[in-house]
Every structure is written in structure tokens, then in C-alpha cells.
Structure 1
Amino acid sequence: MIAQAAALLAAYVIGSFPTAYLVGTANGVDLRTVGSGNLGATNVFRTLGWKWGLLVYLADGSKGALPVLVLPSVIGAATGWPWGVVFGLVAILGHVRPVFLMGKGGGKGVATSSGVFIALAPLPALCAIVGFVIVVAMTRYVSLGSLVGAVILPVALLLQQRAITPLVIVGAAVGAFVFWTHRENIGRLRRGEERRVGRTSPAPSSGSRA
């Protein structure tokens, strides 16, 4: 029980690592006061450019994959269900509610979720990522691409496993969670007010808010 509790804490701490915040700080910007105010790869992309955005996406994805791949062996369990899934979900929670930022101001969980499912179910995760890329390329709405990927993931899991397995249920739950974290984006999409990618926002001082 002690090893399991320690591994769960480690998954949460790994997920909490504030990649976007640190990247913004290194560039003299508090990303919580710029653009969407979100500490995710999309806001980094808009504010600091695609290179920093890609770095944050890969780092946040790794925060999801590493607990799934490494921590089960620490407690003597197999990677996958159930412990790999549990550690992945805890890492996503850490990303959205990071302990290093007092449980506030995290990302929306898309990049970290993609890392979790790349480790758990590579092919369905790849299908979701491809869907995301296609939608963003066609519409330039990252939020819409994220929502489409959140729908594709559980469907692809269901097609792969040919049954409503625990992993399919978790995939559907994570997809629903992505919709919940994007509820404001959904409102802006409906009103035609959502920002498109393709241009970066100027990086104002940390005291300003866009």
C-alpha cells in the first residue's frame, strides 16, 4: 500500500510539472495573463511561437506517458489496466490542477491525455491525433480539433477492442472531461468568437491581460 500510494503521488507530481509556466517565465511572460490565460501548448504557440508550443506539447505528453510506462513496474504491476490507467488519470489531474501552482491555472489536459493513450493504446491514440491535425489544418481551430479527437478516441478504442472494456469506458470519460475543460471554447465556437491559429499574440508584460 505504501508503494502504491507513493506511486500515485509521483504520478500527480509528474503531471503537475508546470511546463508552460516555466517556458513562459523563461521568456519573460506570465502565460496566465496572456491570450487565453491557459497553461497549455496552444496558448504557448500563440504567444511564443510554434517551436515553444511544440516543446510544451511534447513535454506535456510525456507527463502522461511516463507514469503509465514506468510506475506500474515500480509497484510490481503490469503496464496497462488497471494501474497504468490509474496512473495516467492521476497525471492528467495533476496537469489540470498542478500542485506547484496551488491547484490552479493548469492546462486543459489534451496533450497529457494524448501521452497517456499513446502509452496505453497507440493506434486509437494515433487516430485521434490524426483527426485533431486534420480538423486544425482545415479550420485553424485548435479547440475544435481537440473536441473531435476526444470523440474519435473512444470510438477507435471500441473498434479496436470490439467490446465495451474498462479502457473504452476510461477513453470515453477522458473525452467527456476534455469537453468539460473546453466548455468556454465551445461557447465561443457557437458565437463565432473563437480565435484561430496562424498568428501569434504579442507577449505583453506579466501584469497585462488579454
Structure 2
Amino acid sequence: MSPWLLVALAYLLGSIPFSYIAGRMVKGIDLREHGSGNLGATNTFRVLGAKVAAPVMLFDVLKGTLPVALFPHLEHTNDWRWQLAYGAAAIIGHVFSIYMRFKGGKGVATSAGVFLGLSPVALGVAFAVWLVVLKMTKMVSASSISGALALIVVLLIVPERTEIRILGLAVAAFVIFAHRSNVGRILRGTEPRFGAKKEPEATVAAAAVTADGEKVE
């Protein structure tokens, strides 16, 4: 199979909006109109709760892992750089979903899935940092930024291909950039905490906002 075709398939796979599907199936709502408006596991948790968000996160991770683990066996170029292309395409698909008018999530779970297939040691350390920071701060944004920084550091330490390091740097930089508004709220002390109640039934039709009037992301 042509590797270019597989890149396109990786993008289409990454574009599948599992959070949107969950919102429609569980509550009949469009998650783009609730919470942060992002189509990711964090907003799914905030609006629909942990039982719905857990499978959404799992599927978002698999969107990244499957292309880098499976697609190289479907083409015969013996060029491992295509594996990176499949992973990058899946992440881009999640962030800019063709099915959702090029709107999606911030790509954290799908990026984790990609590096689970490319560099599991680096991903393992980054995930451990993510968990520790989440436990300490109760803020998903802070843990995501910390995990991204940890990924960069580990990729620079462990023996790894230069191209994987470059991809890791690009992904981490994007994750940090995507959370730029969260940084401001963290500094102001208005960032929502993990474990807060999901949107009440009576207000599910309205987008959630923080105390300073900004939409939660």
C-alpha cells in the first residue's frame, strides 16, 4: 500500500471525534457548544463525567498508537520515517478534524498514543510526571504542560533518533502553545480543578466560563 495513502488514512483516523460522538450518544449534545468547546477527553470529563471521558481518552490514545504500530507493516518502503509521518498525521487529524470543520482537541492523548508507539520510555516518564503534577495541582492543563516538558527532556537524554526528538519537540511545543490561555488562569488562580462537578443538567445548554469571564479550556 502506498505510504502516502496511509498518511491520509492516519489523518482520517486521527480526525474521528470520539468526544463528539460520546456527547451525541450520551446526552444528545454537541460538545463544541459546552465547556471549553474542545473535542477532547478533558472537556468530555468536565461536561459528561469520568465514565464517559475514560473510553474517549482510550480511543484518542489508540488513534495515535495504531498508525505508528500498524501502518508500517502495510507498506514496504523499509523507511522508518514514514512511521513518524503517520503519527504526525494522526495528531493533526485530532487537532484539525476534517469531520468537524477542522476543529478538534489539543492533541495531548493522541500525541501520547503516538509516542507510546515511537518511544515508550519517554512516554512513560512524561506520563508519570503528568500524574504527579495532576495529583499535586488538580489541574489537567498544568499536568499536560509538565508532561510535554518532561517528554522533551527525556527524548534529549535517552538514545533516540534525531527525527523522533524533533517530532517530540514540535508536539510538546504545540501542546504548550495550545494551553497558553490556561497559563494565564493558573497564574491568576482561576484555572478549574480536576474533580470539580460536571455541568449541571439545568445549565448543560450554556458554555461554562471561569470566574473572570473566560471560557474554560
After TM superposition, the score normalised by the length of structure 2 is 0.89
Q: Which 5+ residue runs of structure 2 have no aligned equivalent?
A: 209-217
> Aligned partners of 1:77, 1:64: CA distance in 2, in Å?
21
Write the mapping of 1:128-147 to structure 2, written as runs, cut at 5 A. Answer: 128-147=126-145
Secondary structure of 2:142's counterpart equals helix
Which residue number corresponds to residue 103 of structure 1?
102
Is the contact made by 1:127 and 1:152 (CA closer than 8 Å) also made in structure 2?
A: yes
Secondary structure of 1:161's counterpart equals coil
Is the contact made by 2:14 and 2:89 (CA closer than 8 Å) also made in structure 1?
A: yes
- CA change 1:64–1:78 in 2 (3 A) is farther
Is the contact made by 2:15 and 2:94 (CA closer than 8 Å) also made in structure 1?
A: yes
Is the contact made by 2:34 and 2:205 (CA closer than 8 Å) also made in structure 1?
A: no
Which residue number corresponds to residue 172 of structure 2?
175
Which residue number corresponds to residue 41 of structure 2?
41
> Aligned partners of 2:141, 2:119: CA distance in 1, in Å?
23
* Per-residue deviation, 1:201: 2.0
> Aligned partners of 2:77, 2:15: CA distance in 1, in Å?
23
1:201 aligned onto 2:198: yes
Q: Report Cα offsets for 1:167-198 as digits up to 9, x if no partner.
A: 11211111001011111212211222110111
Which residue number corresponds to residue 6 of structure 1?
5
> Aligned partners of 1:86, 1:124: CA distance in 2, in Å?
19
Write the mapping of 1:19-34 to structure 2, written as runs, cut at 5 A. Answer: 19-28=18-27, 29-34=29-34
> Aligned partners of 1:76, 1:184: CA distance in 2, in Å?
43
Q: Which 5+ residue runs of structure 1 have no aligned equivalent?
A: none
Which residue number corresponds to residue 120 of structure 1?
118
- CA change 1:34–1:3 in 2 (3 A) is same
* Per-residue deviation, 1:103: 0.8
Which residue number corresponds to residue 61 of structure 1?
61
Greater Cα shift, 40-49 or 199-208: 199-208
Is the contact made by 1:11 and 1:67 (CA closer than 8 Å) also made in structure 2?
A: yes
Secondary structure of 2:158's counterpart equals helix
- CA change 1:90–1:178 in 2 (3 A) is same
Runs of 4+ in 1 over 3 A off after TM superposition: 203-207
Which residue number corresponds to residue 94 of structure 1?
93
Which residue number corresponds to residue 73 of structure 2?
73
> Aligned partners of 1:96, 1:133: CA distance in 2, in Å?
23
* Per-residue deviation, 1:209: 2.1
> Aligned partners of 2:206, 2:105: CA distance in 1, in Å?
20
> Aligned partners of 1:50, 1:209: CA distance in 2, in Å?
19
> Aligned partners of 2:105, 2:97: CA distance in 1, in Å?
9
Q: Report Cα offsets for 1:33-72 as digits up to 9, x if no partner.
A: 2111111111111221112111111100000001101112
What percentage of residue pairs aligned between the two structures are identical? 42
> Aligned partners of 1:155, 1:56: CA distance in 2, in Å?
28
After TM superposition, the score normalised by the length of structure 1 is 0.92
Q: Report Cα offsets for 1:63-117 as digits up to 9, x if no partner.
A: 00011011122221458x411111101100000000111212x010000000000
Structural RMSD (CA): 1.8
